[in-house]
Structures are given as structure tokens and as C-alpha cells.
Amino acid sequence: MLVGLSIHTPPSLTPAQEERATELGPSLVCGCESPQELIDEAGFSGPQVTDVTARFRRTCSAWLAAMKELETQLRRELGDEDFEDELDQKESMLTGIDEGLLLRSLIISERL
């Protein structure tokens, strides 16, 4: 059995939307196949793919709120550059979700 989470783009994005998703999402977000294609290529079958984007958005929002609340301590521990990078990544992810360019899916499947 395989259980995992994937951040990916919706099908049929325009080239401009793919470029924007690439800017906002994790590395290679547009280079990956859909969750269904990934499961098929890995030799698994019968995947259950559940969209958990709304829940993931709440998680990203909570990360941002906590980072802002703990900014002084986090800057001391991480350093200014790493703190800013993390903050930018979380804000970009939220923007990508809000623009409909990034999705998060829970995938459950079994080996063929």
C-alpha cells in the first residue's frame, strides 16, 4: 500500500499559468505528472485521490501566523535570510492556491 501527499497543478493550465505555478509552488511542480499518472508509472493500482487543498491552505495560513508571531525567535534561530525564504515560500504557496494554480492531494493506492 502507498499513502502520500502531492502538490501539483490542475490539468489544462495555459503556458502562462504553468509559468506562474512554477514561480509560486515547490520546485518541479509543473514537471510532475498528475497523481493518477504517478501512481500508474510506479506500478500501483486503484488509487483514491482526495483533494485536500482547502485543508492544506489552512495549514499554510497557520504556518504564516506562527512565523509572524514568533518572528524574533525564528530570525535568531534561522537567521534573517532563511526566515525570509521560508516566509516567502509559504506566502507564495498561499497565492498559488488562491489563484487556483496549486493543488494538494492525498493519494492511497495498492501495489499491482
Structure confidence at residue 32 (pLDDT): 63
CATH of 2-111, one of 1.10.287.40, 3.40.50.150, 3.40.47.10, 3.40.640.10: 3.40.50.150
Binning pLDDT at 50, 70 and 90, where does residue 78 land? very high
Report the share of the chain in percent with pLDDT over 70: 97
Structure confidence at residue 97 (pLDDT): 97
Residues 6+ apart with CB under 8 A from 101: 9, 10, 13, 17, 20, 21, 24, 25
Record the pTM: 0.85
Residues 6+ apart with CB under 8 A from 13: 21, 30, 101
Structure confidence at residue 70 (pLDDT): 98
Binning pLDDT at 50, 70 and 90, where does residue 99 land? very high
